Structure 1
Amino acid sequence: MSSESGDLLWIDPIELRFPFELKKQISCSLQLTNKTDEQVAFKVKTTSPKKYCVRPNNGIVAPRSTADVVVTMQAQREAPPDMQCKDKFLVQSAIVGKDIALKDITGDMFTKESGNVVDEVRLKVVYVTPSSINEGSEDGSLGSLSYQEATKDSKEPEKITSEPFALISKLMEEKSSAIEQNNKLREELDLLRRDISRQHGGFSLVSLLAVAILGILLGFLMKR
């Protein structure tokens, strides 16, 4: 996540990213780094003061030092449309004398009329979910992995539904072939029986064997 460099303070991050959940208080932090050799006072403001709690909302950062600020969003009863948040934060900073204490900080210190060297940095609020965190990764690797998996999954139904139809078609062909062979054997058996009957009941050994073999084959095909 990127940082914002003002004239006096380096602010990290430049977006207040809240893992949004309904009816849950959520916090995120800011780190303010004094870039100067002077003492810098700061004040944090927001367009929705009733919605957020900032601790501390003002303070003093020693030369070349850092200060942490925790921003807490109160529990929300409903999510905004499309999870888009229009809230903004303003970090004001000003160079102050070494004799200035925390209790001496006032809003007038951060105006140009005060004669102080002042600076302002605006920050926006972003609501994030686990999926948007992955998609928003800087290298894009997680987003690429998700797409590949989705493409792979979308092809599975085609593979699953085509295999049963191929199997059914094969079985139907085998059944048709078996029926055709069965019909041919029936015809040959009928011809053999008529031939034997013309011989007035005089069965030869070859005739008996032929009838037996054909009967066995016919029984086998009927079972299929």
Structure 2
Amino acid sequence: MVGSMFFSHRLKQARGGVTDEARESFSSHFLLPAPENRFSSRLQDCVGMSNGGELLQIDPVELQFPFELKKQISCSMQLTNKSDNYVAFKVKTTNPKKYCVRPNTGIVMPHSSSDVKVTMQAQKEAPPDMQCKDKFLLQSVVASPGAAAKDITPEMFNKESGNYVEDCKLKVVYVPPQLPSPVREGSEEGSSPRASVSENGAVNTSEFNNISRAYNEQQDNSSEVIFMSKYLFASVRINIVTIYGLQPE
């Protein structure tokens, strides 16, 4: 009789919802942390990774250099201020001797944009696996109305002084350069093969063959061929790591 009453009471609670005891037990043993909690530190580390910081929007958020040996290479990013405030910015890098940033500080006026050009000095050797560990940090802060570049001071970006400073980390990515190829019948003049890598890291087979054929016909043994070989090898290696979950040595 007592057992039946207890069962009936539990059944009513179950119909009305999960019991507090069961809910607490389930939460402590089975619930996983919410995705936003697991990745919150990562998101805070780079406010503008989705192209949208509170102060400045950055496009693109990756610095892509069409890498070629013994050549200066440049790329640009656009800073857009959609607010009603004057915004000051400063660009820093982990490898200042390798890059030239112009301008490295400046003011973006309300509802306007500013371009920043990053130039990489000529490199004598291609990096291992065509991976670059260099990083850039773009800091932005609200400036006084009517402020100009000459009014920017280091103290403006000092967080310890209570200033709200927005940080965005930008990584450097090497992409294959535009390669020359002979004009063939039925092909558009001026077109040239270009290696591409899919989202899973796989090199496009047809484009790989076009590049190889073009260079074989030209019998080009220059440093660019060595670079492209390294790039394609690195891409295939990345693809293997992605598919099989292997860690590079």
Q: TM-score over 0.5 for the alignment?
A: yes
Which among 65, 75, 85 is matched to residue 38 of structure 1?
85
- Determine the structure 2 residue equivalent to 1:123: 170
Aligned to 2:104: 57
2:217 corresponding residue in structure 1: none
Extract structure 1 runs of 4+ deviating beyond 4 A.
Answer: 130-134, 144-147
In terms of fraction of residues, the more strand-rich structure is: 1
| Match of residue 56, structure 2, among 2, 6, 9 | 9
For normalisation by structure 2, the TM-score amounts to 0.53
State how far apart, in whole Å, the 1-side matches of 2:58 and 2:171 are: 13
Q: Quick check: 1:89 aligned with 2:150?
A: no
Deviations, residues 137-192 of structure 1 (Å, cap 9, x unaligned): 67x9x937559x89xxxxxxxxxxxxxxxxxxxxxxxxxxxxxxxxxxxxxxxxxx
Whether the 8 Å contact between 2:157 and 2:163 is mirrored in structure 1 is yes
Change (3 A) 1:46 1:24: same
The structure whose residues are more often helix, as a share, is: 1
Q: Which runs of 5+ in 2 are unaligned?
A: 1-48, 179-192, 211-249
- Classify the secondary structure of the residue corresponding to 1:5: coil
The 1:146–1:20 alpha-carbon spacing in structure 2 relative to 1, beyond 3 Å, is: closer
Deviation, 1:104, is 1.7
Residue segments in structure 1 that go unaligned for 5+ positions in a row: 151-224
2: CA distance, partners of 1:136 / 1:107:
41
Query: Counterpart of 1:202?
Result: none
* 2:86 and 2:146 in contact (8 A); partners too: no
The one-letter code sitting in structure 1 at the alignment partner of 2:135 is K
Residue 94 of structure 2: aligned partner: 47
Match of 1:135 among 170, 181, 196: 196
Q: What corresponds to 2:75 in structure 1?
A: 28
Whether the aligned pair in 2 keeps the contact of 1:4 and 1:12 (CA below 8 Å) is yes
Percent identical residues: 65
TM-score (norm 1): 0.58
Matches within 5 A, 1:55-204: 55-130=102-177, 134-136=195-197, 143=204, 146=207
Distance across 1 between alignment mates of 2:61 and 2:133: 15
SS in 2 for 1:76: coil
Deviation of 1:113 after TM superposition, in Å, equals 2.9
CA drift of 1:136 comes to: 3.5
